[in-house]
A and B are shown apart, each in its own frame.
Chain A
Amino acid sequence: MIQGTAASLHKLPAVYAYRDIVIDGGLVSYGPDWLDQFRRAAEYVDSVGFVIFGHQSMECQFVPSHQGAPQRYEGALNTVGIDIGVVGTGGLAWAVLAPTSGVPAGALAGEYVGASGDVALGAGVGANVLIGGSQRSFALQPVSVEGSVALDVTLGLSALQLRYAPGR
C-alpha cells in the first residue's frame, strides 16, 4: 500500500524516484541507488565526524611536482573555518604553492593559518587557503578530488601544524 504520495491519493499511475514505493505498489521508479548513497554517507561519517572533528593528528606526505623525493610530515588540526577536499575514505589533499620549485626537505614544517586580508596572494591562490611554513612562504590550497555530485567537506579549521617526520 503506497501512502502519502500525491499520485497515490488520486489513484494515478506514476513514475517514482524511490524503488521502495514500487515494491509497495507504485508503477515504475527511476532514480539514484539510495542504499549506495547511504553507504557513502557512512564514509563521510567516518571521515568528517570522527577524524576531523575529533582533532586527531594525521600523517602527511608532500609530493613535489617537479623534482625531489616525497617528504613526510605529521600534521595536527586545530579548531574551526575552511573547506577541505576529501580523498577516498578520509584523506585530505592540498595543492602546495611554493615561491620556488625547490622545496628543501622539511621546509613545509610550521604553523599554517587562514589567509587574512593583509596577505598578498599570487596567481592561483583562491579562497580558504592556508598560509605558513618557514617564513610563511607556502600556501596550501584545498583540492577536491571527489566526484562532482559529492559535496566538499566543510570544517571549521583555522590552523594546521606540520612537523617534519623524515624517519617514518
Chain B
Amino acid sequence: MRRREFIGGVLSTAAWPLAARAQQPEQMRRVGVLMNRAADSSEGQARVTAIQQRLQQLGWSNGQNLLIDVRWGAEDPDLERKGAAELAALAPDVVLAGGTLSVIAMLHESRTIPVVFAGVADPVGLGVVASLSHPGGNATGFSSYEYSLAGKLLELHGAWREACGDPSRFLCPAGHREFRRDPRHGGIAS
C-alpha cells in the first residue's frame, strides 16, 4: 500500500444536529437528570434550569419534544443509587449526571445508556472514563478541574498564609494526582 500523506482535507458535519432534525418528524426524547443536590437546593434548581434553558435554545422544549426526569441524589449514596435505578428504569435516551456520586451511581446502574457528566473532579482517577482523550464506555462529559488549577489553589494558599497565618488543614482529594506529580506547585507534595 502506498504511503498515505496528510494531504486529503477535512470532512466535517457542520450544523449537523439542526439539519438532521429538520429532515425528520418530531420525536419525543427522554432525558434523565441525576443531580447531587437536594430537591430544595437553590443551586440544584439553578443547575436544572440552566440545563433546560440550554436544551430549549438547542430546540428541545420540555413537554413538547422532550421529557426531562429529574432525581435528586443529594450526595447521599442511598438516594443517588435509588435515583439512578429509577432513571435507568425509564430507559431515557441519555442521562445527565451532576457530580461524582451521581455519575458513579448511574454507571453502576447502566453501561449502555449514554451518560453525560459535569462537576466530576477526577473522571480518570475514578474510572469513570479511561482517559480524557479517549473516554471509552458510555460516559463522557466535563471534569470540574483543569489540573493546573491545583497550582492556582496553592498560590491562593500562599497568599492566605501571608495574610492570616498558616491554614490549619490541607485537604487533598485522593484523585488529584497532579499535586503529587508536579514539583512546580509550591514545592508541595502530598
Contact = CB atoms under 8 A, between A and B. Distances in A.
A31 interface: yes
Interface in A13-33: 15, 17-20, 23, 30-32
Contacts, number: 252
A97 B10 contact: no
Contacts of A152: 132-135, 140
Question: Most chain-A Cβ atoms within 10 A of its Cβ — which of B42, B98, B117, B141?
Answer: B141
A166 interface: no
Nearest to A56: B20
A39 B53 CA distance: 8
From DSSP, what is the main secondary structure of chain A's interface residues? mixed
A103 interface: yes
Interface residues of B, number: 71
Contacts of A32: 144-145
Contact of A46 (B5, B17, B133, B135): B17
Interface in B98-112: 98
A151 B11 CA distance: 21
B94 A60 contact: no
Contacts of A19: 43
Contact of B47 (A4, A34, A44): A34
A97 B11 CA distance: 10
A116 interface: no
Contacts of A36: 50
Contact of A83 (B116, B123, B134, B169): B134
Contacts of B118: 34, 37-38, 40-41
A interface bracket (residues with beta carbon within 8 Å of B): 35 or more
Contacts of A40: 54, 118, 142
A151 B17 CA distance: 19
B151 interface: no
Contact of A63 (B10, B119, B143): B10
Nearest to B129: A151
A41 to B, nearest CB: 4
B64 interface: no
Contacts of A60: 11-13
B89 interface: no
B140 A154 contact: yes
Interface in B131-178: 132-146, 152-153, 156, 160, 168-169, 171
Listed from nearest, the 9 A-B pairs whose CB atoms lie closest are A49-B94, A96-B8, A122-B4, A98-B8, A20-B43, A42-B54, A90-B17, A41-B118, A64-B9
Interface of B: 1-17, 19-21, 23-24, 29, 31, 41-43, 46-47, 50-55, 58, 60, 75, 93-94, 96, 98, 114, 116-119, 123, 129, 132-146, 152-153, 156, 160, 168-169, 171
